[in-house]
Structure 1
Amino acid sequence: MLTDDMKRRLESFVADDVEKGDVTGALVPLREIKAKIVTREKCTLAGIEEVAFIFEKHGLTVKTLKRDGEKARKSDAIMRISGLNRSLYETERVALNIMSRMSGIATACAEAARLAAPVKVAVTRKTTPGFSVFEKKAAVLGEALPHRADLSEMILLKRQHLREMGGIRKAAVAVREKHGVFEAEVSSVAEAVAAAEAGVPIIMLDNMPIKEAKRAVAEIRKKGNAAIEISGGITPANLKKYAALKPDFVSMGSLTRDARGVDFSMVTE
């Protein structure tokens, strides 16, 4: 479901492109047309709700043929659109860009979720400013966890925070007294042990080689029931190896940062 904020963002994306008019579209005779969006490759779909909203907001009639989160094959029809040609020309490229980006992320997440199963996969905050809410939604449609939506959602103590707060033990005591659940980032087995002993509820193993991460997971499990996240440098090529260490989840910046857009085309009928 689109929130009011998401709707405003979508309208602003279109306005960025057509606020001063479509000088090319204005040349063609005004008439009613029909069109459809089709895939040029297999993918996990995302962005259908957003694209339908954009088209309908501009007076076009939309019939969706697939749902967000559904798998699509090459040449599948995703939706049909009808209405004034100029309205379609004004919104077509923005709409396809959004669906391409969101479906690319959903597809990457779906493949990562398959490789890591049963360990959960999460995206990170390596997202596009202004578009993050849609990228996080696409990740969830691809069966990944969204991680933190923004900086207000949960405390994540990174190295610079821990250094300024006097180390993991002091920081853990200060945060736990006021906030309860939080996460701390560690980069060595020794730091992982210190975090577990300090009672950190969620421990992130950041940029650890496989062997070191394996030792850290084992040490944390001995100390208690902290949830374990492995992050940093995780790619589709090494994901299965890290997932085999049985953390609670693996987070991957590449799922949003490096996701390739899915190729869609608009075909007039």
Structure 2
Amino acid sequence: MTSARRRLGGAAAAVCMGLALGACASGQDAEAEALGSTGSLAEGSSTTSPADPGGPGGPGEGREVPASCAALTLAPGSVLDGTGLGDCVSQALASFGSGTMQAIGDPYGEVDFTYDPDYSFRGEFTGPDGPISLTFVDGVMWVDTGSGPVKGDTESADPEEQMAGVAAALYRVFSDPAQTASLVAAQPNWTVQQARDQVSLPDGSTVESFKIVSDGPFVWNEIPVAEYILWYGDDWVPVGSQASMTVMGQSAINSQKYYDLGAPITIAPPAR
């Protein structure tokens, strides 16, 4: 495997687990499904309970808690059904419309994302094989490993353009909320821990968070998951996640933190 492919694979895992909160497909079956996916964002009903981490007039004002989340009991000691939690998790982050994610692990980086009107992101990562920049917008992946942005094209004769094109197809699957719901539902029970965690975010804020832990290991689409942890603030505001799983043949623990939810973000193709 080339250095560029390793970097792309690691960055793919980071964005996959972070923005989709773990919805990762694998292998040739995933690529085949991805190539036929539209990647459109499913719309969910919502309740009028507001959650505004940005304060009055700030980012996130007017955000409505998805009805699938409002139906759950987010309280210490609660045991949550995987199917119901999966529906909630698949909509909670997207309900803000945009934000920034910090990926902690291999690789390390930050990602700006938006779901308006469709899922797009721009990420800068650093790993053992060097830096890599990814931009996914209008269904097209742009990959820059240091020699300038390469536009993904699965029909191209250029190996780098082919690689970027397959990555774009996979991300269309990763961004599908149904994949996230399926992953969480693969573990029947999740428990809200008794003690709330104080989670420090990259923007300098600290959020008193509910820690929701999978009740034991589970397997999803032949991917072994040793443990999965989700952190949420009041009103199901996404704070962080941590996955101990094997993705693309690599076993690792990767964490994510979310901030600037609802901030105005525009993703555009990189200048060539």
TM > 0.5: no
Q: Which has the larger radius of gyration?
A: 1
| Greater share of residues in strand | 2
| Greater share of residues in helix | 1
TM norm structure 1: 0.22
TM norm structure 2: 0.22
